[in-house]
Amino acid sequence: MKGSISLAGRLLITFCLAGFASFGVRAEQVRLTLEPGQQLLPAAKPQKSYIKIGLEGLLIPSKQRPPINVALVLDRSGSMSGQKLAQAKESAIMALDYLRQDDSLSVVIYDHRVDVLVPAAPFRDRMAVENAIKGIKADGRTALYDGVRQGSVELRKYLAESKVNRAILLSDGLANVGPSSPEELGQLGRQLGGEGISVTTIGLGLGYNEDLMVRLSDASDGNHVFAETPSELAEVFRNEFGELTSVVATDVIIIIQCRNGVRPLRALGREAQIEGDRVKAHLNQLYSKQEKYLLLEVETPAGQDGSELDLADVEVTYRNLVSQANDRLTGALRVGYSGSAEKVEQSHNKKVMISASEQIGADMDEKALVLKDKGDAKGAGDLMREKAEYLEQQAKKYESERLLEQSQRSREVEQAVAAPASSEAWSKVRKEIRADQYGIKKQQSYK
């Protein structure tokens, strides 16, 4: 059942999942899809199940895209000398092709000092920006925190809810001047995310702290990318600016109200506030033609064969960057009970269960890294083997090549954890794990 009604300039869309099937409803700029992990629950006993709340931004003509407010925060410390800095400058200049005159740009550079190379301003004088970037020279240590903070100062000069506001941080080294812990960078990321600013972190080479970079991106709902070599930067910047120009919604708030004894247990992949039977999550930005989702694990009560259960009501609000209105979507999710184990098994939604399996695997990655960091290489290897076996089983069950590939990758990591923690081999693998894990948790469109 679908329906839409316009009220005081706000678009209200409600829908339900009739006949236990899931489907999407087209809003002005966002499609909301609710899907249960299984459409039939086993009667007579409580069990764990999953709810997937999917959001997809709809395609918009390039002429209608919202203006961008972006700060490039570039590392110019001594370790960036040579090919790293040359490729970084070339990639940043190439990315200027994506900007228009109604966009605003600033460029901040840092070593142990921070300089505003290009103050925030409308993008009108491309040649001046190019010449400024070309003149960057490498020297000194790494004041990463202060670089990001200064980037945010520039962004605030043109900060507006009608714009896409983002800092893009590039660094190849450890933060060794000023605040330098993942906790401190995470706090900065949360502050910026609360202002509507997302931070994308690009780690170049093997010398940077991936935990710090991931925490900063995660807290602000930005992207994180591991570029092993300078030659990868051009593609990274193309992907990042391509995504920037496809944002259709910001300040996305998801509220799930569980019903009829359904108990929320945890959100997989994303942070969410769970208070009793109510769940609230926030996404900073939503992109055209890309799905972002919240996956909720719930405990469902026992029921009678043939009966139905209203699982939850869902409300999504967001800022529509095309219409500049505050839009709202609502939906409800219902499943049934069956006494037939065969019917219950056949009712599994493969798409949802594959996503749940990926998120569970990403959690296992995180726990394995903690064990390795504590010096327990055997425990980390055992957990990666357990993950590989779990994903292989799920891949067969749900006929997923993607899960099978992840299982095979986990077996490779199982062998890699035996390498010394200080070795380049482990540094590379650890950064790959963190980047892959982050991409799965955030449904990042590129790596």
Taking only the tens of pLDDT, the chain with its 447 residues reads 333 323 222 223 334 333 333 434 434 689 999 999 999 999 988 999 999 999 999 988 778 899 999 999 999 999 999 999 999 999 999 999 999 999 999 999 999 999 999 999 999 999 999 999 999 999 989 899 999 999 999 999 999 999 999 999 999 988 888 888 999 999 999 999 999 999 999 999 999 999 999 999 999 999 999 999 999 999 999 999 999 999 999 999 999 999 999 999 999 989 999 999 999 999 999 999 899 999 999 999 999 999 999 999 999 999 999 889 999 999 999 999 999 999 999 999 999 999 999 999 999 999 999 999 999 999 999 999 999 999 999 999 999 999 999 999 999 999 999 999 999 999 999 999 999 999 999 999 886
What are residue 213's phi and psi, to 5 degrees?
-65, -40
Cβ burial of 291 (10 Å; 0-12, 13-18, 19+) is middle
Whether 186 and 166 map to the same domain: the answer is: yes
Quick check: is 345 in a domain?
Answer: no
Quick check: is 241 in a domain?
Answer: yes
Quick check: is 346 in a domain?
Answer: no
Quick check: is 43 in a domain?
Answer: yes
Quick check: is 321 in a domain?
Answer: yes
Quick check: is 447 in a domain?
Answer: no
In DSSP terms, 121 is beta-bridged to 105
Which amino acid would we find at residue 288?
A: S
Query: Do residues 82 and 117 lie in contact, with contact meaning Cβ atoms separated by under 8 Å?
Result: no
Whether 307 and 428 map to the same domain: the answer is: no
Q: For residue 234, give its domain range.
A: 66-245
Whether 262 and 179 map to the same domain: the answer is: no
How many Cα neighbours within 13 Å face the side chain of 296? 32
Return d(Cα 297, Cα 283) in angstroms, integer: 19
Return d(Cα 110, Cα 141) in angstroms, integer: 9
* Model pLDDT, residue 178: 83
Handedness of CA 243, 246, 251, 253 (dihedral sign): negative
Query: Do residues 394 and 431 lie in contact, with contact meaning Cβ atoms separated by under 8 Å?
Result: no
The number of domains in the chain is 3
How many Cα neighbours within 13 Å face the side chain of 117? 25
Backbone Cα Rg of the chain: 23
Return d(Cα 101, Cα 125) in angstroms, integer: 9
Secondary structure of residue 102 in the 3-state scheme:
coil
Whether 70 and 41 map to the same domain: the answer is: no
Whether 130 and 109 map to the same domain: the answer is: yes
In DSSP terms, 292 is beta-bridged to 55
Closest listed residue to residue 322, CA positions, set 46, 100, 62, 42: 62
Whether 228 and 82 map to the same domain: the answer is: yes
Measured CA distances, 133 to 35, 95, 342 (Å): 47, 12, 64
Quick check: is 344 in a domain?
Answer: no
Closest listed residue to residue 126, CA positions, set 151, 168, 165, 95: 95
Domain CATH number, residue 273: 2.60.40
* Model pLDDT, residue 20: 39
Whether 112 and 221 map to the same domain: the answer is: yes
Whether 133 and 266 map to the same domain: the answer is: no
Return d(Cα 113, Cα 336) in angstroms, integer: 62
- Joined together, the tokens standing for residue 303 give 């029921």
Whether 85 and 215 map to the same domain: the answer is: yes
Q: What is the longest distance spanned by two Cα atoms in the chain?
A: 73
Closest listed residue to residue 106, CA positions, set 157, 70, 68: 70
Whether 355 and 414 map to the same domain: the answer is: yes
Whether 122 and 193 map to the same domain: the answer is: yes
- Joined together, the tokens standing for residue 407 give 């299982």
- Any idea what DSSP says for residue 324? T
Return d(Cα 165, Cα 155) in angstroms, integer: 7
Tell me which H or E stretch contains 372.
helix 350-373
Whether 261 and 364 map to the same domain: the answer is: no
Which amino acid would we find at residue 408?
A: Q
Quick check: is 285 in a domain?
Answer: no
- Residue carrying the six token digits 């569980």: 258
* Model pLDDT, residue 28: 66
Query: Do residues 169 and 147 lie in contact, with contact meaning Cβ atoms separated by under 8 Å?
Result: yes
User: E strands within 277-386?
Assistant: 278-287, 291-300, 308-320, 325-338
Tell me which H or E stretch contains 414.
helix 401-416
Which amino acid would we find at residue 25?
A: V
CA angle, residues 187, 189, 194, in degrees to nearest 5: 100
- Residue carrying the six token digits 């798409």: 351
Return d(Cα 277, Cα 275) in angstroms, integer: 6
